[in-house]
């Protein structure tokens, strides 16, 4: 009996401890708006390494400064908007590392000398699923400016109608910055004084992959303007940019230059499959690169990426922030549809085993009490 009690107690403790310690330690969570944190900035003043700020849908009239290691997650760019004061960059990241995520916002109303929408200096965070719309820099980086060895991951973002007085209406990369710019839609941006209506590169080496760069304007290099260094450019649709699609660089071997065929009147630039006949679909569907640097696992709406959009039997990433996707029929957790397995949420599997461990511990403890009570009699 004593051996059984020992085995039960040890098994329960080991099982419970191993399952609990398998879950990484979490930082604090902050919710905006709330009585304690009515604004994003108020939450950022107390947030630190490993913390997460969850921002509910709504409009937030403020300029914010990100904190190293604290992620800021919006409810989605279509419903969560940060409207700048018009007296500086809407979002600033200075010395923010790769443990930081900024996701799910529309950024608008920025007006600064550099980086109207977002200014990054020495920062390597992830910026994903955001829309940079109608921001202005009097010098460079209307939508975003990167400087001082900034190497962020910029994915699933839309840069639309941003303006720079000189360089980089959409994005300006400067001073040894090496961002991954992957699966972004960069359209209708303007550099009025010089080059790079869409993207401007100066002494930097960005990876520019799986993007749509169309309808931008500059005196030179309306699409991509490279002043110096050699960026990696491939698997992009660079089309119809005033001032030329490329300046100081050349099209990648797998770049195309075709009308991306967005759905007419759609402000979020979904790709038009021309359903149901698929006779004249967007050329960006299944035209990207599955091994693109920092390829996101979903598109900016959360649809799976990569998906076989053209139905040829090979799943290939699309170009741009949108992934054309046909949802499968509903299926219960753990079931299959067409041979595709839909996994059960691991959290739902963890809890019963954790509970079993606690039950074993309690059972062993109960038996010990019973035996001791018998001896006292």
Per-residue confidence in pLDDT tens, the chain, 377 aa = 444 434 333 434 333 434 333 334 469 999 999 999 999 999 999 999 999 999 999 999 999 999 999 999 999 999 999 999 999 999 999 999 999 999 999 999 999 999 999 999 999 999 999 999 999 999 999 999 999 999 999 999 999 999 999 999 999 999 999 999 999 999 999 999 999 999 999 999 999 999 999 999 999 999 999 999 999 999 999 999 999 999 999 999 999 999 999 999 999 999 999 865 667 899 999 999 999 999 999 999 999 999 999 999 999 999 999 999 999 888 666 655 444 443 444 444 344 444 444 433 344 444 333 333 344 34
CA dist 102 and 72 (Å) reads 5
**Cβ atoms of residues 198 and 213 within 8 Å:** yes
Q: What is the pTM of this model?
A: 0.82
| pLDDT recorded at residue 241 | 98
Report helix, strand and coil shares of the chain as percent, to nearest 5: 15, 30, 55
The CA–CA distances, whole Å, from 328 to 338, 341, 375 equal: 9, 11, 64
Tell me: the pLDDT tens digits for 315-340? 999 999 999 999 988 866 665 544 44
| pLDDT recorded at residue 258 | 97
| pLDDT recorded at residue 278 | 67
CA dist 155 and 103 (Å) reads 10
CA dist 334 and 318 (Å) reads 28
| Domain boundary assignment for the chain | 1-32+346-377, 37-327
The CA R_g of the chain, rounded to the nearest whole Å, is 25
Q: Is 345 exposed, middle or buried (0-12, 13-18, 19+ CB in 10 A)?
A: exposed
CA dist 148 and 163 (Å) reads 22
| pLDDT recorded at residue 333 | 64
**Cβ atoms of residues 32 and 55 within 8 Å:** yes
Cis amide bond preceding 33, omega within 30:
yes
Q: Which of the 8 DSSP states describes residue 143?
A: S
The candidate with the shortest Cα–Cα distance to 176, out of 122, 226, 119, 223, is 122
DSSP-assigned states of every residue in 147-190? ESS---EEES-EEES-EESSB-SSEEEESS---EEES-EEES-E
Residues 257-287 as b or e (16 or more Cβ within 10 Å = b): beebbbeeeeebbbbbbeeeeeeebbbbbbb
The full length of the chain comes to 377
């Amino acid at each position: 009996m004593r051996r059984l009690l020992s085995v039960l107690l040890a098994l329960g403790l080991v099982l419970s401890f191993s399952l609990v310690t398998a879950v990484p330690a979490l930082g604090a969570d902050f919710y905006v708006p709330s009585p304690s944190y009515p604004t994003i900035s108020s939450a950022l003043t107390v947030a630190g390494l490993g913390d997460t700020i969850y921002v509910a849908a709504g409009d937030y009239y403020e300029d914010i400064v990100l904190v190293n290691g604290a992620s800021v997650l919006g409810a989605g760019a279509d419903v969560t908007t940060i409207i700048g004061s018009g007296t500086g960059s809407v979002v600033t990241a200075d010395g923010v590392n790769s443990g930081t995520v900024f996701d799910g916002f529309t950024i608008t109303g920025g007006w600064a000398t550099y980086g109207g929408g977002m200014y990054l200096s020495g920062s390597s965070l992830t910026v994903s699923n955001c829309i940079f719309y109608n921001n202005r820099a009097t010098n460079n980086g209307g939508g975003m400016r990167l400087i001082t060895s900034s190497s962020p991951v910029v994915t699933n973002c839309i840069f639309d109608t941003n303006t720079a007085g000189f360089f980089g209406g959409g994005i300006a990369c400067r001073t040894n910055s090496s961002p991954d710019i992957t699966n972004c839609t960069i359209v209708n941006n303007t550099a009025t004084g010089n080059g790079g209506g869409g993207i401007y590169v100066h002494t930097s080496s960005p990876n520019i992959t799986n993007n749509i760069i169309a309808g931008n304007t500059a005196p030179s290099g309306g699409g991509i303007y490279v002043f110096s260094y050699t960026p990696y450019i491939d698997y992009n649709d660079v089309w119809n940019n005033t001032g030329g699609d490329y300046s100081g660089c050349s099209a990648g071997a797998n770049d195309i230059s075709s009308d991306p065929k967005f759905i007419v009147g759609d402000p979020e630039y979904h790709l038009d499959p021309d359903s149901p006949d698929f006779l004249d679909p967007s050329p960006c569907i299944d035209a990207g690169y599955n091994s693109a640097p920092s390829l996101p696992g979903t598109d900016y709406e959360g649809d799976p990426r990569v998906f076989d959009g053209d139905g040829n039997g090979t799943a290939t990433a699309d170009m741009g922030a949108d992934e054309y996707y046909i949802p499968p029929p509903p299926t219960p957790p753990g079931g299959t549809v067409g041979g595709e397995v839909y996994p059960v949420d691991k959290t739902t599997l963890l809890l019963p085993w954790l509970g079993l461990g606690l039950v074993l511990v309690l059972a062993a403890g109960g038996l010990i009490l019973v035996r001791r009570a018998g001896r006292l009699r």
